[in-house]
Structure 1
Amino acid sequence: MWIKHVGRDGSIAEHDAEADIWRNDVAQRFHLQAGDLLLSEVVTGRPKAALVQEADLPAAAAGSVYVLRPRRVLPPEHTRLILAFLRSERVARLAYGDFGRSRIRRTDLAPLKLPEPDEALATALNELESAGRRMSRWSAEATALAGSVFETEQSLDEARRSIIAAGQLIRLRAEAAGELDDPDHTVRTRFPYPVALRLREAEARRSTGDLEPAYRAILEAAETLLAYAALVAGALARDAAIDLSSMALLQRKLAGAAGGPGLGEWTAILQEVAGAKKRRGLNPDHPLHELADLVPEGEAQQARSRLAARRNDAAHGRMPDAVDLPQALEEASHDLSLLVSRARFLADLPLIHVTSVAWDVFRRDASISYRRLMGDHPVVPTSFMNYPSSAVEPGSLYLVGRDHHLYLLRPFLTCEVCETCRAWSTFHGDKVKGQLVQKSLEHGHNYSYKADVEVLRQTGLM
């Protein structure tokens, strides 16, 4: 097997009985084994690297190919990580010689430290590779379809009709993929429901040209985004036994006789979790790390401050007048877009509503039915998954981490059918005229708190 048989994508060419060199005098120690890693000695651009599998055997490496044999069988995730490293610029820099004849010396490979297992990173790489392969298949389908127009004796009219019919799915794929470049589409379909609905309303209001409702919708969407992020951060911090002093501000608001929490309290929570010291010791893929980057120092923080000032002015009757309103709307929309761009990670942290849990004592896992509340509509199909813990509550909201761990959001966020509008909604604790209420993130409707107040006390919210 020569280096020409190894593709830059990690593929190994299939056997060719006519073109390949076949010998029966190769010593056994030179025979490749399934699990061996091949690395190109000659480097043009980046090194080639591939995994030998059973389908590639029998074979032996020849000419400018290094064979790296693991001392033990590696999990697929770890293998993918090592292959990505071997193809990296870091390994390419080991090569010496002129361009086109650069080589990696065996002595330079010996001290090279391969990456340790990292399931989250390996999974992310695998998802990227899978996406790349899928798009390559789609591209090949489109090319083959376009090339088939004149392969039959059909007329041009018949060819046009057949191409339109056969190419419909390909066109729809391309259109759907293209929509993902539109931030508004990502929000509508991939953001958590409370945030997505508020942002969709702001988008719709603005499209009508009715400036004052659009301006208010933008400010409400900004507050909902920050409130959702802060409430999730509070739940995650409690789960990780992280003490947040900013929670005392929230507690005083809910325990006092004045109004409930607002942008000031939500911002304080997010700013506190942004401190690296609070998150020390958490796994690298813990959701709190991403929430910490939502409003960092700089442009995003300035945008948040401007939106908070506008929200405060609007709440106290200090709306921009008819002359200033168009410019104020444009500036507020720009600031909101900046925050939304910082919050894109929310699309990868699903909000789910668990509807039932069945624990299997013998299998030691739970069968969970749930609704995935991502996008701007709460009517979604029920999905199912297995989970290795019985500590999951039916009826509660959970955040799904990148490692598929379920993080309980109760009592920071609860859910039920709203008594005011009869729409399924998410709620957080609030205070109105000295009375404890629950307030909908989606519509702002509020009424007497229905959940267990004692749980608020146990979690430090009261």
Structure 2
Amino acid sequence: MSSTEQHEESSSDRLPFESVFDTVLSGWAFDRRVADGVCGPADLGAVRLIWLKNIGRDGVIATPDPAADDWRNDAPERLHLRAGDILLSSVVSGRPKAALVQEADLPAIAVSSLFVLRPAKPLSAEHARLILAFLRSDTVGALTAGYTFQRHLRRSQLKALELPNEDQALSAALADLAAAGQRLGEMAAEAGALAESVFDMNTSPEEARQRIIATGQLTRLRAVAAAQLDDPGFIVRTRYPYPIALRWRNVEVQKSADGQDDAQAKEYAAVLKAAETLLGYSALLTTALAHEAGITCKAIKAFKGKIATGQGGPGFGDWQRILQQIGAAEGMSKLPPEHPLHDLATLLADDEAEAACRSLGTKRNSRAHGREYLPAVSASKLNEAHDGLRLLLDRARFLADLQLLDVTNVVWDRHEQSDTITFRRLMGDHPVVPIESLRHAGPGRIATSLYLAGGDQGLHPLSPFLTCEKCEECATLSLFHADKEQGVLLQTSLDHGHCYQYRADEQALRAVGLR
């Protein structure tokens, strides 16, 4: 089978129910009046009865409780649950309940009001997560809409369903949401327990007051940090790639200097520079990823031509055209759905973003070519530029998930057949960040260079389209791209704008068509 055929096969988003589950069992409808099988959890052959009430809305089966649960030793062997089975409510109130049976839940048996779905082959954790989310959805719940007294799912309705296929990116997003929800729930429970302990019998009011103030400090700090995430500027400053985050911080600094001489003009210039950096960084990512994937478009060819043979380098319009054209480039449809190029293709994909980009480009060009008297920049023009930048930054929120990694050291383990990578994560508005490490098992070997870690779990090389090195002028770790001025090959920093004669590997430029 060719790689294209394999991708087309794996990218099908629906699977027939019976290709995933070969058995659907109804819960055990035992006679409660027969007490002979009732036993305790420690008795020989004891099996826990799992009722609908034991399954939470979050898909978690309640931990066995020897005192509160029902146990029997006469449950039919054929109905005993196995790890990997999925339990689904057959009686539905609102959305259906569904849960994955784990080894820790056994021995157990599902009783009436539950279906047992037994996979034809073991499901990966990621695929099981997607199927559970689908079974708990309104789509499945709506199958019972015609019933008024008790809403029941029928076995025939289940078997007619089409289930979601494996999707690593979606599954990872669901896992992250579940982990975040659990963590927030734990924090809320901790805060509640702390508040309820104020008047414990063995605690004096003075001791309780001191404990609440001291212990509650972390809870209050968590709440403050969480509230900051509702501020889009905070997200850009702390979670976006370094060049964009730094340029945005400069905008905020200039805004806070209101009242100083030329403050409005300086803020206006910072906004336009931030917009150009956002587009430049995104376009350079696009070009590097497209080169890796063997994809091109007219705008990318024109950009390469400017560096290779032209007198001048790329500008705002070049970045804009690359981002506008990449979505329609030949070969894009063959990329996996989680490939970062799909996100980049959405940045200027609607009329509102196009208009904002066009307006910012016009303002940038007028300023660059001396057609504006900057000290007299009007408040309305500044606000218009601000609004356009905020719109584009919001459209580019996916960049917070595309991690920029500067790999500084690689150690190959021939026994494990993997690289141990030491790197800096260049996210947020400061280039001095902690050193981290991870293990990478391929495909392909890793070099000490700049990479993008995407939602597809891959490491994508960005060099020589983007390089990371100390600036000769300010000694700050910076991101550079190849540039041209009057036919001289330069390297220009995205984050602070310093440029000088190209110092990196020109042979690498030739290899990708930039020389």
TM-score band, normalised by the shorter chain? over 0.9
Measure, in 1, the Cα distance between the counterparts of 2:114 and 2:451. Answer: 49
CA 1:34/1:321 → structure 2, altered by over 3 Å: closer, same or farther? closer
SS in 2 for 1:42: coil
Q: What's the Cα RMSD here?
A: 1.6
Aligned with 2:166 (options 103, 106, 117)? 117
Q: Does 1:248 align with 2:305?
A: no
- Contact map agreement 2:88 2:116 (CA 8 A) in 1: yes
Tell me what 1:421 maps to. Answer: 474
Q: Tell me which amino acid in the other structure corresponds to 2:62.
A: A
For residues 155-194 of structure 1, what are the structure 2 equivalents within 5 Å?
155-194=204-243
Tell me what 1:376 maps to. Answer: 429
For residues 27-46 of structure 1, what are the structure 2 equivalents within 5 Å?
27-46=76-95
Deviation at 1:253, TM superposition (A): 2.1
Superposed CA offset, 1:382-430 (max 9, x none): 1001111352111x11100113211110110012111111111110011
- Scaled by the length of structure 1, the TM-score of the pair is 0.96
Q: Tell me which amino acid in the other structure corresponds to 1:439.
A: T
SS in 2 for 1:101: coil
SS in 2 for 1:77: helix
- Contact map agreement 2:254 2:270 (CA 8 A) in 1: yes
Measure, in 2, the Cα distance between the counterparts of 1:319 and 1:152. Answer: 73
For residues 430-449 of structure 1, what are the structure 2 equivalents within 5 Å?
430-449=483-502
Measure, in 2, the Cα distance between the counterparts of 1:305 and 1:399. Answer: 28
Tell me what 1:151 maps to. Answer: 200
- Scaled by the length of structure 2, the TM-score of the pair is 0.87
SS in 2 for 1:25: coil
- Contact map agreement 1:367 1:384 (CA 8 A) in 2: yes
For residues 336-375 of structure 1, what are the structure 2 equivalents within 5 Å?
336-375=389-428
**Sequence identity (%):** 51
Measure, in 1, the Cα distance between the counterparts of 2:143 and 2:347. Answer: 38
Tell me what 1:94 maps to. Answer: 143
- Contact map agreement 1:237 1:244 (CA 8 A) in 2: no
Measure, in 1, the Cα distance between the counterparts of 2:202 and 2:80. Answer: 52
Which piece of structure 1 moves more, 117-126 or 371-380?
Answer: 117-126
Superposed CA offset, 1:348-407 (max 9, x none): 00001000111112211001100000000000111001111352111x111001132111
Which piece of structure 1 moves more, 448-457 or 190-199?
Answer: 448-457
Aligned with 2:372 (options 307, 319, 327)? 319
Tell me what 2:179 maps to. Answer: 130
- Contact map agreement 2:356 2:389 (CA 8 A) in 1: yes
Q: Structure 2 unaligned runs (5+)?
A: 1-49
Tell me what 1:335 maps to. Answer: 388
SS in 1 for 2:213: helix
Tell me what 2:44 maps to. Answer: none
- Contact map agreement 1:43 1:100 (CA 8 A) in 2: no
Q: Tell me which amino acid in the other structure corresponds to 1:25.
A: D
Deviation at 1:163, TM superposition (A): 0.3
Measure, in 2, the Cα distance between the counterparts of 1:355 and 1:324. Answer: 44
Deviation at 1:26, TM superposition (A): 1.9
Q: Tell me which amino acid in the other structure corresponds to 2:97.
A: K
- Contact map agreement 1:44 1:99 (CA 8 A) in 2: no
Deviation at 1:276, TM superposition (A): 6.4
Q: Tell me which amino acid in the other structure corresponds to 1:398.
A: Y
SS in 2 for 1:170: helix
CA 1:320/1:87 → structure 2, altered by over 3 Å: closer, same or farther? farther
CA 1:21/1:248 → structure 2, altered by over 3 Å: closer, same or farther? closer
Aligned with 1:73 (options 107, 122, 125)? 122
SS in 2 for 1:136: helix
Which piece of structure 1 moves more, 167-176 or 16-25?
Answer: 16-25
Aligned with 2:509 (options 441, 456, 462)? 456
Q: Does 1:50 align with 2:99?
A: yes
Q: Tell me which amino acid in the other structure corresponds to 2:281.
A: Y
CA 1:155/1:100 → structure 2, altered by over 3 Å: closer, same or farther? farther
- Contact map agreement 2:419 2:445 (CA 8 A) in 1: no
CA 1:256/1:41 → structure 2, altered by over 3 Å: closer, same or farther? same
Deviation at 1:153, TM superposition (A): 4.6
Tell me what 2:245 maps to. Answer: 196
Measure, in 2, the Cα distance between the counterparts of 1:254 and 1:20. Answer: 73
Q: Tell me which amino acid in the other structure corresponds to 2:447.
A: E
Q: Tell me which amino acid in the other structure corresponds to 1:284.
A: P
Measure, in 2, the Cα distance between the counterparts of 1:157 and 1:206. Answer: 46
Q: Does 1:307 align with 2:360?
A: yes
Q: Does 1:60 align with 2:114?
A: no
Superposed CA offset, 1:302-324 (max 9, x none): 00000000000000112256555
Deviation at 1:15, TM superposition (A): 3.0
Deviation at 1:71, TM superposition (A): 1.8
CA 1:244/1:47 → structure 2, altered by over 3 Å: closer, same or farther? same
Tell me what 1:11 maps to. Answer: 60
Which piece of structure 1 moves more, 80-89 or 450-459?
Answer: 450-459
Deviation at 1:325, TM superposition (A): 1.9
Measure, in 1, the Cα distance between the counterparts of 2:67 and 2:471. Answer: 72
CA 1:254/1:37 → structure 2, altered by over 3 Å: closer, same or farther? same
Tell me what 1:2 maps to. Answer: 51
- Contact map agreement 2:311 2:488 (CA 8 A) in 1: no
CA 1:454/1:30 → structure 2, altered by over 3 Å: closer, same or farther? same
Which piece of structure 1 moves more, 71-80 or 179-188?
Answer: 71-80
Measure, in 1, the Cα distance between the counterparts of 2:59 and 2:247. Answer: 44
Measure, in 2, the Cα distance between the counterparts of 1:204 and 1:147. Answer: 43
Measure, in 1, the Cα distance between the counterparts of 2:202 and 2:170. Answer: 52
Q: Structure 1 unaligned runs (5+)?
A: none
- Contact map agreement 1:191 1:375 (CA 8 A) in 2: yes
SS in 1 for 2:71: coil
Deviation at 1:56, TM superposition (A): 1.8
CA 1:276/1:81 → structure 2, altered by over 3 Å: closer, same or farther? farther
For residues 212-223 of structure 1, what are the structure 2 equivalents within 5 Å?
212-223=265-276
CA 1:407/1:218 → structure 2, altered by over 3 Å: closer, same or farther? same
CA 1:382/1:17 → structure 2, altered by over 3 Å: closer, same or farther? closer
Measure, in 2, the Cα distance between the counterparts of 1:48 and 1:376. Answer: 44
Measure, in 1, the Cα distance between the counterparts of 2:234 and 2:271. Answer: 17
CA 1:18/1:335 → structure 2, altered by over 3 Å: closer, same or farther? same
Count of residues paired in the alignment? 461
- Contact map agreement 2:283 2:322 (CA 8 A) in 1: yes
Superposed CA offset, 1:287-337 (max 9, x none): 000000011131011000000000000001122565552111111001000
- Contact map agreement 2:265 2:377 (CA 8 A) in 1: no
Deviation at 1:155, TM superposition (A): 4.1
- Contact map agreement 1:370 1:382 (CA 8 A) in 2: yes
